[in-house]
Amino acid sequence: MLPQQEALPLLDDPLEWSAFSREVPEQPGCWESSVAIQGMHCAACSMTVEEALLQVPGVVSAQVSGASQRARVVWAAARVLPSVWIGAVYAAGYGAVPANDAFANERRRVENRQALWRMAVAGFCMMQVMMYAWPAYVARPGDLSAEMEQLLRWASWVLTLPVMLFSCGPFFTSAWRDLMHRRVSMDFPVALGMGMTFVVSTVGTFQPQGLFGREVYFDSLTMFVFFLLTGRWLELRLRDRTAGALEALMNRLPDGVQRRCSDGRFERVALRRLQVDDVVRVLPGEAFPADGVLVEGQTLVDEALLTGESRALERGLGGAVIAGSHNLGAPVLVRVERVGVQTRFAQIVALMESASLDKPHLAQLADRIAKPFLLLVLLAASVAAVVAWHQDPAHAVMLAVAVLVVTCPCALSLATPVAMLASAGALAKSGVLVRRLQALETLASIDTVVFDKTGTLTSEHIGLSSVQARPDMACAQALALAASLAQHSLHPVSRALLEAWQAAGAERGEAHLRPELRPVSETQESMGQGVSARVHGLAGGASDLRTVRLGSASFCGLPAPPPSVMSVFLSDESGWLATFELQEQVRDDARECVQALLEDGIAVRLLSGDQAHAVQRLADLIGIAQAQGGCSPEDKLASLREAQQQGHRVAMVGDGLNDGPVLAAAHVSFAVGLGVPLARAQADFVILGAQLTAVVQTLRQARRTMRVVRQNLCWAAAYNALCVPLALFGWLPAWAAGLGMAASSLLVVLNALRLSKLSASTVQGLPS
């Protein structure tokens, strides 16, 4: 029994669930948990853990990634507790701990240390055994007496014992676990080959005149184990870079925070006890524990990992800070506005966890063929041994060993997920979150990019230039009424009106004189059109209740405005109330982004709900030839599907706020902007910063990723096509088979590791 199993009942406390789980809004009563799986070595292992989890009543779904060593489990709290389904993982012979466990780094260090010791013991013994085996290889007839040869065999046997008992421990443990559960993993044929080689060589040592006494294979065995352990240790180190990066992000939040009490003193409390409106003190070098605003002090903050902004940002009184960013300057006091799963940090972590567990189609195919392939390997090894047995039993056994070892499909199972995980990590560092790894494969094949306009090609910060109101209503009152509706929308225009109301009188210190927001009810938002609500007391009476609309002219039932200004209208049941003229700015890198896409052979289109003249003017400015304005969400969706029916592979780029249907219908999609609600975004990629050229970087990185995946798959296929016949015909000794197996897996991982950094070609021609 693993030590961690003793603590499983502690996870059944509902207060602990939020530390490693989140509630699933789409499935009431269900929780989604992320756990790190211990003891997995291959694709067959991941499928075994999945099957063990899915057999537990109350587990709704389970996904396990062999590349990231993580599992995502959705479970019904009314039917099963965490200790039960985690216990099922232990019962299957593996370990499981919460993904954000504080001791994950320490466990990885222990695992690396043990792997290094096993490799070192195997390497030392291999060198000594080779010294004892060398005389038998170079001696001429009569040079080596029978007694001396037997003594060298005995010495080799003694030196092989530590290798079998210590270095090979994980292989035999895994194989025994498989036998007990009547299944096959990639460790089983390897352990079987090791055991057969040791038994045959031991029999030859104790009975030199017997059936297997002609030759012993301790040198091949120790060399094979050393090469295999070396490959696994290097693979473990490389793979931990990805796991370590994710855990580093997840563990950015402090365990405890200094919260201000009612009497003004500060007490240290656990992070999960933090509540909205609490005031906390954050010292230099510490991470902000929640989303909030500064109420005392000013400092510099590092938001690089969360927004893609590489520069330190200034934050003063009233400045917003986000959980997971670091305080670089001075001690500050922060009033908490969002905690737990509501923070942007939690949403980013959820997206990264989701991506790390996603299985691309090619990886799913490798997982499906892994177990049948292993059974075929066992059959091929048995046939090879039977055919060669009558000539030389010892040679027949070693022939079977070579076949068992060389055909292990580790490289095939690692080819796709390792490359895509490395690429997703590189994109995350540059401010692009990958929601689905499969999207990288799809993005590499697109030939058309469709852009939305407002909040995508134009800046999210739209300014209010003028207000015109009905004679019986002051402009300030009209703005306050519009802000009352706008606060219930995330559209860039709504945010601009709300910000304009908040700024009214603030520069002159007269913010207290601005009209207050009015109470509204029955708020409804029509995507891309506007917001409507019932407003109380609009005509002066407390019981007065009117329907007010804020949005486009058609939405408000008004005639279309002149085609020269960007206008938003306010109306009630009696007609027009006010007109708000807005100004928007084109993103600084919009033209560079469009030109880079055109140079890469990608067709670019613009679809927008804004007026046709404004859309065409923007298209001409940044170099888009095909532009269409006045589009409703249904019009955008119809245009997108028309392009798809013509055979185009389309990527959609929007602000993630009112483009949900189009983003979901596109082959692949991007949500751009800091205002994107990550938990609800329909996009496959989320660009955290303000750089539109991240679309080009992601496209180029996706193409580069698929090149690496194809290289890995070709290498894995070529390796098996070349080495399997050599092993079957007896031309590949066991030690060479082990070297080939280790080298193939290592080559795949090293090739994928090139994707962990964006290459020069990925950012070539883009503004820095």
Catalytic residues: 452
Instruction: Say which residues have a Cβ less than 8 Å from residue 3's Cβ, sequence separation at least 6.
Output: none
Which helix (H) or strand (E) element contains residue 198? helix 187-206
Pairing verdict, β 291-296 and 299-302: unpaired
DSSP for 467-525 reads EEE-TTS-HHHHHHHHHHHHTT--SHHHHHHHHHHHHTTTTTT-GGGSPPPPPEEEEEE
Which helix (H) or strand (E) element contains residue 3? none
Dist. CA 2–CA 95, nearest whole Å? 7
- What is the chain's percent helix, strand, coil content, to nearest 5? 50, 20, 30
Closest CA to 419 of 753, 762, 744: 753
Q: Which two tokens stand for residue 183?
A: 């299944």
Distance (Å) of CA 662 to CA 412, 451, 469: 36, 11, 35
Q: Which two tokens stand for residue 409?
A: 């499909």
Q: Give the chain's end-to-end CA distance (angstroms, integer).
A: 54
Dist. CA 219–CA 699, nearest whole Å? 50
Dist. CA 74–CA 61, nearest whole Å? 5
Dist. CA 32–CA 679, nearest whole Å? 14
Residues shown for the chain: 768
CB 38 within 8 A of CB 96: yes
CB 198 within 8 A of CB 214: no
Q: Within its chain, how far is the Cα of 353 from the centroid?
A: 5
Residue 167 DSSP class: I
Q: What residues does 299 pair with on adjacent strands?
A: 315
